Amino acid sequence: MSTNKMWGGRFEAGPAAIMREITPSIDFDKRLAAEDLAGSRAHCRMLANEGIISKDDGAAILEGLAKIEKELAEGSFIFKRELEDIHLNIEARLAELIGPAAGRLHTARSRNDQVVTDFRLWVRAACDRADSGLLALQRALLAQAEKHVETIMPGFTHMQVAQPVTFGHHMLAYVEMFGRDRGRFEDARKRLNESPLGAAALAGTSFTIDRDNTAHALGFARPMRNSMDAISARDFALEYLAACTIAAVHLSRLAGELVQWSTPMFGFVKLSDAFTTGSSIMPQKRNPDAAELVRGKTGRVLGDFVALATVVKGLVLTYGTDLQEDKERVFDAADTLELCLAAMAAMTADLTAQPERMRAACEPGFPTATDLADWVVRVLKKPFREAHHIAGSIVKSAEEKGVTLDKLPLADMQKIEPAITAEVFKVLSPEASVHSRMSLGGTAPARVKEQLAHWKGVLR
């Protein structure tokens, strides 16, 4: 007896069994139930207002939808895979509840405009949730910044000690970063907030519907102007995923710093037991698992963006079942980002900075070498390139003697540049360096306090 290998195993019954597995979307698009009900209510009321269906049928449909909403809330609604998707599941249950009048609800619409309306409503709410999560994280960062306006730590370039900064300034850098992320979700929300409902299958409808009515009933700014674009466009989902990806990258950067800072070698911060785990064989370990998982999940969110972009890139107008692949990617990215935002906000609020370790880390690496060069420019009127060479030679001398710049004897400096005076020592400590950085956006505590005041006003 021969067996078709393609249909072997789970699919011995042949093509019908394969189609029963590949076609249904109810397993994941049931998450659109609330949006589907909202869209159906708006559509029903418009149809009744325009006289396209009778007031009695409209009232019966609305009553049936209310019963379905109650069943969904109570968990008694039965989802059936044979009905493929959330739209047919709700429509079939409506018919069971109110009879033939249920069939009038689908007048002047298609599953094509129905699903994309639902999806836009869902993504719009996801943008709002992302904004809330980012706001909570910004507030946690701001609270840490306020406690550490004067806490000195090394700033790095190329992972080498570069110049002293304050921990408050470092935290505020992320406040700025996540503020831009919030702007991206806000922009995405504005662009997606147009209603495709009424575009029907792709060409519009011959019924005299009022698309402005349904758009405003659902909180959209306006109806979409082109029915073919309304059905086929998924750039709103891509833009949302792009915003998720950039936010996840920023979360990964912060998570990476927390992983690094919490190591014994750095010891800049301590994470509590709530966000660390032990080792199965090494009792001394405190592993920053939450931060590592946030860092790792960035690849997952990026993958969701790439997957949907790949689905959409070759699609001709208007609808193809390929677009059924849009929702799982968006749902996964939303779930992942929202969890990571909650974890990072809680971790940031929970961490304890270690100012002594941060300050001690400013000793090696000569982080005030630029201050020395700047002093030579400002006081001795040397060109910066010459001052840079002088400072580099002095650093080499300090390195050979095993001392920091502010401990190098003046006589040694004067061997390199005789015009240097004892006044130079006023700029060579990390404290002096930090307080001198008074340019707009600088790390000087006075400037950090200005940034704090600004963000307190923004985040109020």
The two three-digit tokens of residue 216, written as one number: 């405003």
Sign of CA dihedral 172, 178, 184, 190: negative
Place of tokens 């149809």: 47
Q: How many residues does the chain have?
A: 460
50 and 43 in contact (C-beta within 8 Å)?
no
304 and 329 in contact (C-beta within 8 Å)?
yes
- Bridge partners of 269, per DSSP, are 353
Whole-number Å distance between alpha carbons of 460 and 458:
6
Query: With 0-12 CB in 10 A as exposed, 13-18 as middle and 19+ as buried, what is 457?
Result: exposed
Place of tokens 């409506």: 94
Cβ neighbours of residue 228 closer than 8 Å, sequence gap 6 or more = 199, 202, 203, 317, 318
Whole-number Å distance between alpha carbons of 60 and 163:
71
Catalytic residue among 25, 43, 132, 158: 158
DSSP tag of 399: H
Whole-number Å distance between alpha carbons of 307 and 116:
18
Q: H or E element: which one contains 329?
A: helix 326-350
Active site residue 158: yes
Catalytic residue among 132, 169, 250, 279: 279
Cα 121 to the center of its chain, rounded Å: 18
Active site residue 110: no
Catalytic residue numbers read: 158, 279
